Amino acid sequence: MIYHIMAQSTLHCSSSFTYDVFLNFRGVDTRNNFTGNLYNSLCQKGIQTFIDDEGLNKGEEITPSLLQAIEESRIFISIFSENYASSTYCLDELVKILACSKAQGHSFMPIFYDVNPSEVRHQTGSYADAMAEHEERFQDQKDKVQKWREALSQAANISGWHFALGSQQPEYKFIANIIEKVSKIINPTPLYVAENLVGVDTPLLEVTSLLELGSDDRVNMVGIYGIGGVGKSTIARAVYNKIADQFEGVCFLGDLRKKAINHDLAQLQEILLSDILEEEDIKVRDVNRGISMIKRRLHRKKVLLILDDVDKLRQLQVLVGGLDWFGLGSKIIITTRDKHLLNTHGIVKSYEVKQLNDEKALELFSWHAFKRNKIDPSYADMSKRAISYFHGLPLALEVIGSHLFGKSLAIWKSALDKYERILHKDICEVLEVSYKDLEEDEKEIFLDIACFFNSCKISYVKEILHIRGFHVENGIQVLIDKSLMKIDCNHCIVMHDLIQDMGREIVRRESTSEPGKRSRLWFYEDVVHVLEENTGTDTIEVIVVDLYKVKEVHWNGMGFKMMKSLRILIMGNVHFSKEPQNLPFENARMEWIYVSFFTI
């Protein structure tokens, strides 16, 4: 009985994979055409694929070896064709596949080959005829037939691919799209997570436990909260890297608090949909339409969605407004400094990230101060004094440890005396000690990156910094060595939001009331103020405002007149009411400009 097989096997679905893909199909329909072509394409890409070559002479029951192959496969592809439902063997495989997918979160990808998904879902057309025959044949095993019906309906409710013979889309392109999707599931691009992590194992286990990865009959939403710099984003990234391959679509919407400054909520909805659906041309006209699009496009899709650094309830309401917006088995993680946001949004499962205990704090500090997991005995007292100041806050331990690396005891004492004087103040003031220890060239590079280039490709940033006349290679390496920035596996700059905040605050303090007297402008509202009010001065060296959507500047065209020191000007998606009259093209110091000027 299939029920007996299902009850036994769902408890033993393997978490280690022998095969990347298991193909479930009706041989007489597609073995020598579509399925054969798909199998060959998968193998050519080095994707380990199981295809049942015994299928031409199948018996009544699926064999133990076939059951094992299903359990040891990461992705299941069922190819529903005209005569699929006439095979009890295919239906038995499908029941087993869906059971294992539910138990372990393995990906299931239905392909509807020249049949309409509604025929499979409601068992009409050839599927109605096949199921009627099964009803007649298995009159004494009605539960078996019912499970086949339920499996067909469940499979057809999962987002998949539809290919119609005679359509304009060539089969080879259709197969190429499937291969691309399979490749992304097998090898999802990992998020950057630092080496030598300390104290992450327990939070990682706790959060994955709260997500209930085996529960594909519901959607789980989990919050991660704690103070800034305690490691919330690191834990979320580690969870993503661990489980991303179990979902049909994934999105890590990082640094949401800052993204919301230059992106309206509809644009964030576009990013979410584009990442999960892997479509580049998605446009959302307004927030309400965006909500409808998320519900309509994702309500049958099993997704992993992480919203990092949420600071407004409205962000949650328009991005993850309800559990029913997403397909069963979806997992949603929200990181925030404000637990009240989680409670207000009805998130009942949450994990508080606490500061490291003294043992873990000392280990993390040692990795950065001594480049090993144990402290130098001659620095033991100083090290314990250092960790006592920062109360187990990982970001501070990392930055301060890197700052002290290779320094003498006398310098350690002097630095710790400075930290002691700013105890209990904002963490940015603690981090600023590392900034003040930089050479002038290094400070300028740091401020440029903090103000403009976090998350940008390092090659692009180096090109601009070279134009600025800095000693780029050495300066970048110093910032990395001092843990003020990192380079991820995609060759992009990674700077913690608190470190970025510290850098931007240093620039803001150049003139707290008038942005036109600051060396760098990056915030759209500040740039608009300076250009419309003609308050620019020769202090301004760099302006970078590359907006996601077009915004307008109403001015008299003279806003650049006094910016004699401006060297870098990057402005994208800005409409001007008049052509600029004094754009500093003739400025001898001006060496890099990208402006999309449009007049209204």
User: Cα–Cα distance between 145 and 139 in angstroms, integer?
Assistant: 9
What is the β-pairing status of strands 73-80 and 220-225? unpaired
Residue 598, by phi and psi: left (phi above 0), alpha (psi -120 to 50) or beta? Answer: beta
* Of 271, 256, 414, 398, nearest in space to 341 by CA: 256
* Backbone φ, ψ for residue 476 (5° rounding): -60, -45
Question: In this structure, are residues 495 and 484 in contact, taking their beta carbons and an 8 Å threshold?
Answer: yes
DSSP states along 42-91: HHHTT--EE--TTGGG--SS--HHHHHHHHTEEEEEEEE-TTGGG-HHHH
Scored b (16 or more CB within 10 A) or e, 483-503 reads bbbeeeeeebbbbbbbbbbbb
* Of 68, 88, 194, nearest in space to 131 by CA: 88
Cβ-based neighbours of 134, under 8 Å, separated by 6 or more: 88, 145, 148
* Of 384, 364, 383, 382, nearest in space to 373 by CA: 364
Catalytic one among 71, 82, 93, 270? 93
Q: Which amino acid type is present at position 229?
A: G
DSSP states along 224-243: EE-STTSSHHHHHHHHHHHH
First vs last C-alpha separation in the chain: 72
Beta bridge partners of 19: 73
**CB neighbours (10 Å) of residue 350?**
17
Residue 589, by phi and psi: left (phi above 0), alpha (psi -120 to 50) or beta? Answer: alpha
> Which tokens belong to 282?
């998605």
* Of 70, 74, 79, nearest in space to 99 by CA: 70
* Backbone φ, ψ for residue 322 (5° rounding): -155, 155
**Residue 394, Cβ density class (10 Å: 0-12 exposed, 13-18 middle, ≥19 buried):** buried
User: Cα–Cα distance between 224 and 231 in angstroms, integer?
Assistant: 10
The residue behind tokens 């990461």 is 74
Per this entry, what is the length of the chain?
600
- Where helices occur in 345-426 by DSSP H, the ranges are 358-369, 380-390, 394-404, 409-421
* Backbone φ, ψ for residue 483 (5° rounding): 60, 25
In 3-state terms, what secondary structure has residue 207? helix
User: Cα–Cα distance between 533 and 525 in angstroms, integer?
Assistant: 12
Beta bridge partners of 220: 331
The residue behind tokens 């328009």 is 318
User: Cα–Cα distance between 105 and 169 in angstroms, integer?
Assistant: 31
Query: Would residue 533 show up in a list of annotated catalytic residues for this protein?
Result: no
Active-site residue numbers?
93
